[in-house]
């Protein structure tokens, strides 16, 4: 590395500090804080980066009908107790089915006394015109 005397070192440090200050004034302040003392941020669009994101809030008066409307089927709560047998009883499996209309929601919760493997899926009822459509949602162990 070349040897710098005190004057060259001071000049290099001053030029580097001035370049860093210019970068802060021209780029960092407009893009991060929306402060644009030179107008460069407005000219280049950097001040738009500092603007808070637009938030759209839907109310029951402005939301689409499918969001704001009440469900056709009233909410109901059921408690179901299932016993999963051993391998000699249906290979240790239970399938619990729930019939729902398109657009209906379901909230579910379970407890188990031992680890279980579960798989949650949905499917349509096949017709002569339409084959069954299946959607796998989740499979895991609990």
Asked whether residue 42 is domain-assigned, the answer is yes
pTM strictly above 0.75: no
> For residue 13, is pLDDT > 90?
yes
List of residues 6+ apart from 80 with CB closer than 8 A:
96
Residue 15 forms part of a structural domain: yes
pLDDT of res. 82: 82
The boundaries of the domain holding residue 14 are 6-50
Q: What is the pLDDT of residue 137?
A: 79
pLDDT at 36: 94
Q: Which of 36-40, 50-54, 98-102, 118-122 has the highest mean pLDDT?
A: 36-40
Q: Are 16 and 8 in contact (CB under 8 A)?
A: no
Number of domains composing the chain: 2
Q: Are residues 142 and 77 both part of a single domain? A: yes
pLDDT value for 25: 96
pLDDT at 66: 62
**Which residues make Cβ contacts (< 8 Å) with residue 98, sequence separation at least 6?**
106
Residues 125 and 82 grouped into a single domain: yes
């Amino acid at each position: 590395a070349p040897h710098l005397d005190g004057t060259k070192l001071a000049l290099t440090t001053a030029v580097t500090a001035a370049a860093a200050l210019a970068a802060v004034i021209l780029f960092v302040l407009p893009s991060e804080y929306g402060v644009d003392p030179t107008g460069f941020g407005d000219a280049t669009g950097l001040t738009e980066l500092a603007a808070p994101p637009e938030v759209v809030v839907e109310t029951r008066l402005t939301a689409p009908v499918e969001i704001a409307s009440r469900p056709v089927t009233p909410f109901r709560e059921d408690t179901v107790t299932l016993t999963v047998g051993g391998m000699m009883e249906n290979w240790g499996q239970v399938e619990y089915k729930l019939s729902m209309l398109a657009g209906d929601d379901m909230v579910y919760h379970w407890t188990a006394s031992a680890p279980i493997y579960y798989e949650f899926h949905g499917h349509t009822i096949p017709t002569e015109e339409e084959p069954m459509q299946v959607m796998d949602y989740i499979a895991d162990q609990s």
